[in-house]
Structure 1
Amino acid sequence: MTVTYEVRIWEVRRNQSSKTPSFEARWKVGTKSRSKTFRTKALAENFLSDLRQAARKGEAFDVSTGMPASMLSAKAESAGPSFLTFARSYVIGRWRRTAPRTRETEAYALLSLIPALVADVPDRPEDDELRRVLRTRVLLPEDRQEELTRAQSAVLRWLEKASLPLVDLQEARVVRIALDAISVTFDGKEAAANTVRRKRAILHHLLESAVEQKIFATNPLHEIKWKPPKAVTVVDPRTVINPVQAKQLLTAVPKVGRTRGVRLRAMFACIYYAALRPEEAADLRSKNCTLPEAGWGRVILERARPQANKRWTNSGETHESRSLKHRAMKETREIPIPPVLVGILREHIDAYGTEDDGRLFRTTKGGSYSSSACSYVWQEARALVFTDEQMRSPLAARPYDLRHAALSLWLNAGVPATEVAQRAGHSVEVLHRVYAKCMEGQQERMNGKISTALDE
């Protein structure tokens, strides 16, 4: 612990950035300025009075925390759980109720927050060492934890010692440290807007849990003037292919590799012709399909098969069948499918049959295709069909863009938004917001109406 006797204490001031009345105690230890926010002016003045008394007695102040030795020991006794301890209990307490991808997302946010919310304790390990211990030990239930090496055990002991008390997040300075941490990637670059907003939402929910447990009176994030970066919430029309391009790509897919391409063609076709999410297509089973010899068919979706790191799944496998996105358990979604998709699925089943559990799409060994394998096949198919300029563009850059193309096509064909939303598994409001820029011809029609009105 680094200490100093150089202490300067200022008067209490009203916190102008707070929505509700609050007061800020300010002092300086060595070269570091400190502040702490209180609900009333009296509480802030009492806190500064304790600091002044400690300074008059000649106590040394800890540079990393800004506190005198007497108050530091008292704080340690009454501070409650550390941020590390509370974060772990937050993840483990929600484990049974959350999906594997949600667990992974929460842990990913905490990999940014926990290493940032620490005191200035000597011999700090490298950040990647801290994150490895968190990822493989701290943020997992006991029966999933990896054994630590001696070096990793030392890293964990440092983290347990250095982690700030959770109550320190009542200070605006500490909350801003947390917000800064979620605003950058692990290598210090500016994080994507959607990533920042997702991590901020997790931090908010974690602090709401602290409010629920009476650790905080209100959520400290509400006192901070901070705007998350604006995220893109609409589909980029440059990604949307037309029906001719879709057919060309689906024709090219079987030409990729020895077995992957021919086995994945029907799965990609489901994403385009039925607007399935990739994880929904991955769990499609023969019992879900009505495939007549002629005319339209139907699929009734029951489950999805998303991919996640196996440490976060219940089964310990990378793919795990679960309920449909945004749907209640056992709720289904019915989608009529056009004759072209009926024919493709019939050909696929005739050629490759189904897995013992009825799944249509699987590797030669019966497993599910990874997202990286699907992406590889898709990029190779794009290279067979597109020009160099198109390859460099976002046009159908991901298999998921087939779904965007399908929904855009349906909307532009005049299918009512309520029907499109039902087939897609969206709300109408989300559908209009996400696909607003993909509605071809809307601007021209609106311009015509305005011109008519101006001529009257």
Structure 2
Amino acid sequence: MPVYKDKSRSGKVSYRIDINFTDQNGKRRHICRRGFAKKKDAEAEEARIRMTLSDNLPAAITLDALVDQYTASYLLEGVKESTLMSNLTMYKCHISPILGSKRVKDITVSAVTQWMTNMLEKEKPDGARYAANTINNAKMVLSKYLSYAVKLELIPDNPAQKVKKYQDPDETVKSDEAEINFWTEDEYWHFISYVDDPEWKDIFLFLWETGVRRGELIALRWENVDFGGSKIRIEATATNKTKKRGQIRTSPKTRRSIRTIDMPDSLRNALLERYKRHQRRDGFSYDFYVFGDIRPLSPTTLKRKHDEYMDKAGVKRITLHGFRHSHASLLIMHGLPDQMIADRLGHTIEILHKVYAHIYEQQRNSFKNELNAIYTRENYTQTTRTAVPLH
């Protein structure tokens, strides 16, 4: 965060700006401004300085320097800090060693293609090659930074956009993750029968009956639960992809992810019993996490317990995100309206149809079978075949 809070010995609070950037000669520079009485004044001055720096970026700037500039001004680009940190990790690991010292204007389609070739030959510490998904994600990050260079008029167009995504020719056609990463109702009930701790049973029931993302579950507080209306407000997610250490509670993945979802009676009753148990804890308040206490549940612990109970039950292994796929698949198969399912998941209709295409294909096949049953000759009655006079 470029704007920081200062506190004098007398306790008076003011704000300062700290900006690191690369000057026109390619040298690292630092700007510090102090004494702002209000945070919004410091942020306005920071924005003004950022705009000035963007206007004076050198034509010979390297990709590393451009990424530094982008990182320093990410708030102006409307980028979440968790996304910024995730992209930076990918950049430093896979892109900077090859392209970081190159001038942005020298990064051509040929240079991007050569970089992808290097990625194909690159080995992990265990000697394995990187998957196509990793290579394409790295290319997407590179493309994002080069689009920023286009915006600043450093280059006329984005060469990464002219390079096709990589497809591994040795990979057989795979089913979509949602097609294999889910449980049937029988598989879920078999699994949950082996969860002997009510605290953990609540967690897996919640995932199964709401389809929320892991981070949304972890970030849920009691203030977000409306027992009277049997509703849950999803307005935050948990992430550790920030400059701060540990997990933080932040805004959800997309604007559509902020939503209110209905609770089935079974989930409402389970959460009400959980609330009664947690209410007896010292210092309890509505700020406590539903699946934690004053601190949120650790994602590592959540994964470990999920693995532990799957092993115990001997069921097909799915990821925690598989609960979300299972929830959506179940609602689709039961014929609930697409728009309501999309709203519940925080999706658009288009994404819903894309991710769960295999379920819709099954429905279409069932529909065709029903059509065939209706329109077979032996099923036609005399009444069906009788023409209705037109008036």
Shift of residue 85, structure 1, vs aligned partner: 1.4
Name the amino acid aligned to 2:96: I
Q: Please tell me whether the aligned partners of residues 206 and 267 of structure 2 are also in contact (alpha carbons under 8 angstroms).
A: yes
Which residue number corresponds to residue 361 of structure 1? 291
Distance 1:452 1:343, change over 3 A: closer
Q: Determine whether 1:268 maps to 2:204.
A: yes
When residues 182 and 87 of structure 1 are mapped into structure 2, their CA distance, relative to the original with a 3 A threshold, is farther
Q: Tell me which residue corresponds to 1:431.
A: 352
Aligned to 1:290: 226
CA contact (8 A) 1:421 1:427 kept: yes
Alpha-carbon contact 1:300-1:333 (below 8 Å) kept: yes
Q: Establish whether residue 402 from structure 1 lines up as the match of residue 323 from structure 2.
A: yes
Distance 1:422 1:284, change over 3 A: same
Measured in 2, the distance between the counterparts of 1:186 and 1:437 equals: 33
SS of 1:335's equivalent in the other structure is strand
Mapped to 1, the partners of 2:367 and 2:310 lie a distance apart of 34
Alignment of 1:177 with 2:114, yes or no, is: yes
For 2:270 and 2:226, the matched residues in 1 are separated by 13
Tell me the CA shift for residue 447 of structure 1. Answer: 4.5
SS in structure 2 at match of 1:321: strand
* Paired residues of 2:208 and 2:324 also in contact (CA < 8 A): yes
Equivalent residue, structure 1, for 2:275: 349
Label 1:367 to 1:203 Cα distance change in 2 as closer, same or farther (>3 A): same
Structure 1 regions of 5+ residues with no counterpart?
1-77, 119-162, 256-261
Task: Check 1:404–1:254 CA distance in 2 against 1; reply closer, same or farther (3 A cut).
Answer: same
Q: By how many angstroms is 1:201 displaced?
A: 1.6
Give, in whole Å, the separation in 2 of the partners of 1:441 and 1:79: 56
Amino acid paired to 1:115: P
CA offset at residue 335 of structure 1? 0.9
Which residue pairs with 2:5 in the alignment? none
CA distance in 2, matches of 1:344, 1:438: 29
Aligned pair count?
308
Which of 146, 152, 172 aligns to 1:213? It is 152
Question: C-alpha deviations, 1:165-197, integer Å up to 9, x for none?
Answer: 222213x44222332345556447432333222
Q: How does 1:27-66 map to 2 (within 5 A)?
A: none
Q: Deviations over 1:16-39 (max 9, x none)?
A: xxxxxxxxxxxxxxxxxxxxxxxx
Instruction: Find the partner of 2:367 among 425, 429, 445.
Output: 445
Give the superposition deviation at 1:282: 1.3
**Structure 1 counterpart SS, 2:153:** coil
* Corresponding residue of 1:238: 180
Which sits farther off after the overlay, 242-251 or 423-432?
A: 242-251
* Post-superposition offset of 1:419: 0.7
Q: 1:82 aligns with which of 62, 81, 89?
A: 62
2:353 alignment partner AA:
H
SS at match of 2:195: helix
Contact 2:150–2:156 (Cα < 8 Å) also in 1: yes
- Select which of 215, 233, 249 maps to 1:300: 233
For normalisation by structure 2, the TM-score amounts to 0.69
Distance 1:100 1:265 in 2: 33
**CA 178–325 in structure 1, closer or farther in 2 if over 3 Å, else same:** same
Shift of 1:435: 1.1
Is the partner of 2:233 in helix, strand or coil?
strand
- Report deviation, 1:114: 0.8
Alignment of 1:361-400 (within 5 A): 361-362=291-292, 366-386=294-314, 390=315, 395-400=316-321
Aligned partners of 2:131, 2:210: CA distance in 1, in Å? Answer: 30
Whole-Å Cα distance in 1 between the matches of residues 64 and 336 of structure 2?
51
Which residue in the other structure is 2:29 paired with?
none
Q: Which residue identity is paired with 1:169?
A: I
Say whether residues 1:91 and 2:71 are aligned partners: yes
The CA distance in 2 between the partners of 1:246 and 1:219, in whole Å, is 47
Q: Could you tell me which amino acid in structure 2 is paired with residue 103 of structure 1?
A: L
**What is the rounded CA distance, in whole Å, between the counterparts of 1:166 and 1:204 in structure 2?**
12
Q: Is the 8 A contact 2:342 2:352 kept in 1?
A: yes
CA distance in 2, matches of 1:203, 1:114: 10
Q: Which residue of 1 aligns with 2:28?
A: none
Contact kept in structure 2, 1:182 and 1:200, CA below 8 Å: no
CA separation in 2, counterparts of 1:214 and 1:235? 39
Match of 2:195 in 1: 253
Letter in 2 for 1:341: L
After superposition, the CA RMSD in angstroms is: 3.0
1:271 partner letter: L
The answer to whether 1:229 aligns with 2:167 is yes
Query: Any conservation in 2 of the 1:298–1:337 contact (CA below 8 Å)?
Result: yes
Q: Structure 1 residues 198 and 95, CA, compared in 2 at 3 Å: closer, same or farther?
A: farther
Q: Is the 8 A contact 1:271 1:402 kept in 2?
A: yes
**1:104 aligned residue:** 85
Structure 1 segments, 4+ long, off by >6 Å, are 230-233, 450-456
> What is the deviation of 1:396?
4.5
Which residue pairs with 1:335 in the alignment? 261
Q: Which amino acid in the other structure matches residue 240 of structure 2?
A: A
Structure 1 Cα separation of the partners of residues 375 and 135 of structure 2: 44
Distance 1:272 1:252 in 2: 15
Give how far 1:371 is off.
2.2
Deviations 1:348-400 (A, max 9, x none): 1122235562321116xx322232211110011111212xxx4xxxx352122
* Deviation for aligned residue 1:453: 7.3
SS at match of 1:253: coil
Q: Which residue of 2 aligns with 1:419?
A: 340
CA offsets per residue over residues 209-228 of structure 1, 9 Å max, x none? 1122222122223555x333
Shift in alpha-carbon separation, 1:419–1:346, aligned structure 2, 3 A: same
TM-superposition CA deviations, 1:419-451 (whole Å, max 9, x none): 111111111111111112134553233255468
The answer to whether structure 1 residue 320 and structure 2 residue 242 are counterparts is no
Instruction: Mark the CA change 1:227 to 1:241 in structure 2 (over 3 Å): closer, same or farther.
Output: closer
